[in-house]
Structure 1
Amino acid sequence: MPKHILICTDLDRTLLPNGKQPESPKARSIFSRLVSRPEVTLAYVSGRHLELVKNAISEYDLPLPDWIIGDVGTTIYQLRNGKWLHWYEWEQDIATDWQGNIANDLRALFTDLPALRLQEEAKQNCYKLSYYVPLQTDIAALQKTMSQRLEAQHLAASLIYSVDEATSMGLLDVLPAHATKLHAIEFLMQHQSFDYVNTVFAGDSGNDLPVLASAIQSVLVANADGNVIEQAKTQTRKQKTMTAFYLAQGGFLGMNGNYSAGILEGIAHYHPETRLWMEENHEQ
């Protein structure tokens, strides 16, 4: 067991039990006690912006993380002396992909595409251009058109698609190519002296796929959509990262594998010694 472990987790429908499936009653409290250990550094990795992450922490009584990777990987904040400090070095790192442009400058490229509806201004930032997309949209064709327009302007970008189950709406984010959750986590690992052996990521949705299919030890919670499960399996086989991917099954400590129960199951899969911590906490 490494002396220290970095636990990175998505929020909505991963740590937060706000999906359709039931939550194991004691899972979140075990998770909270686990991440309170001095060996653990905790990062929330979310599509939410900072205020919405703070709202989730309050609403669900979540443990305060050491780091927040927000806005689908375009912002990073560190908790220091009770305050959230913006990590500007990260934004400087990703800014080069857009050659001095920001998200507002890119909107004009897509105004004629009827499938796209801009998300609220609070969900936009300098390096995140976000749209709502109807579920019946041909996403592959739309992404191809958008990618061609970005490439014509010599802009390196990622188009990240996911589905909001609560609203039955597609979400499409235009990000600098290096601003994915994956690159943000790797940036954090590099600057905080973590590696692939002592980092674990948990997710559930399409915008988690780049991390789930990477060399980072990852867990897909059991409540994930079937389509995401199949995509994750396909991508890990293609990238030969199957040993760094775990699909929660349920049954661990008598829990169902959904949400935080799945996170705990995945952590114990990669780091079996942590099970003792969980069982000790389970008995308290």
Structure 2
Amino acid sequence: MQTRILICTDLDRTLLPNGSQPESPGARDIFRRLVSRPEVTLAYVSGRHRELVEEAIREYDLPVPDWVIGDVGTTIYRAGAAEWLHWAAWEDDIATDWHGLMAKDLRPLFDDLPDLRLQEEAKQNRFKLSYYLSMHCDAKALRQEMASRLEARNLAASLIYSEDEAAATGLLDVLPARATKLHALEFLMLHQDFDVGNTVFAGDSGNDLPVIVSRIPSVLVANAERTVVGQAQVLIEQISNQVAFYLARGGFLGMNGNYCAGILEGIAHYLPETRHWMAEDHED
């Protein structure tokens, strides 16, 4: 039996049932009871900034997490019931990628690219430059052009693309190279003494892919974007990392595998000792 477990999950369309597919009734109740156990540390890993994470917790009656990795990996907070504490050591770690520059300093590099539209100021931060783009544009070619401009200035960056299906728009984040969800999660695991044997991550979209295809045991919920499922399967095959990848398909505890049900299914797959905890809750 594991004495400590780290459960990490994306929010929108992973833990939050805000996609077009149906949610299994009672799934969030089982999740809430599971993460309340003393063995479990809970981290939300989201593209949302702090205020929007807090809004989601209130709106969907979510458990308050122990940690929040926000802004697509550019911020980390120690959360819990008390005041959230900003983890400055993480920003110090990623700042070297841009040699003292901040996100606003990078905007002029891309001002002439017509397919890019800056997201609202609330969605920007020191190390996150975020754009909307049409889902009809050539996102791959656009990222290649942006990457070449950054490389020409010796700026180490990640370009993370995902799609908001509900809003029918593309989302593109320019981040320091080490500021992905993956590197933030690895930083958290290292400093809180977790490893791949007692950590599970759940996601659904393109900005979750770096974690999904990593050595960290990960689950794609059943409602994940079909393009993301295909990309993940190809990458997993290329690197022979099937042991750390699970695609929820439904059936666990009679649930459909979407959203929270998929998270629970993935946790049970990687950590079978948790099954009886969830089964007891389901019977209740």
**TM-score, structure 1 normalization:** 0.99
Q: What is the match of residue 276 of structure 2?
A: 276
The aligned amino acid for 1:164 is D
The 8 Å contact of residues 205 and 228 in structure 1, kept in 2 or not, is answered as: yes
Q: CA deviation at 1:239?
A: 2.1
Write out per-residue CA displacement over residues 29-83 of structure 1, whole angstroms, 9 at most, x where no aligned residue.
0000000000000000000000000000000000000000000000000025611
Structure 1 CA distance, aligned partners of 2:175 and 2:244? 25
Q: What is the match of residue 242 of structure 2?
A: 242
Alignment of 1:91-102 (within 5 A): 91-102=91-102
Alignment of 1:41-56 (within 5 A): 41-56=41-56
Q: CA deviation at 1:235?
A: 1.0
Q: What is the match of residue 170 of structure 2?
A: 170
Unaligned stretches of 5+ in structure 1? none
Alignment of 1:206-245 (within 5 A): 206-245=206-245
Q: CA RMSD in A?
A: 0.7
The aligned amino acid for 2:22 is P
Alignment of 1:83-232 (within 5 A): 83-232=83-232
Q: CA deviation at 1:240?
A: 2.0
Unaligned stretches of 5+ in structure 2? none
SS at match of 1:268: helix
Structure 2 CA distance, aligned partners of 1:81 and 1:265? 27
Write out per-residue CA displacement over residues 192-240 of structure 1, whole angstroms, 9 at most, x where no aligned residue.
0000110000000000000000000000000011111000111111222
Structure 2 CA distance, aligned partners of 1:166 and 1:84? 30
The 8 Å contact of residues 162 and 172 in structure 1, kept in 2 or not, is answered as: yes
Alignment of 1:4-43 (within 5 A): 4-43=4-43
Structure 1 CA distance, aligned partners of 2:204 and 2:98? 29
Q: % of aligned pairs identical?
A: 71
SS at match of 2:145: helix
The 8 Å contact of residues 65 and 80 in structure 2, kept in 1 or not, is answered as: no
The 8 Å contact of residues 160 and 207 in structure 2, kept in 1 or not, is answered as: yes
The aligned amino acid for 1:272 is P
Structure 1 ranges of 4+ moved more than 3 A: none
Structure 1 CA distance, aligned partners of 2:197 and 2:239? 18
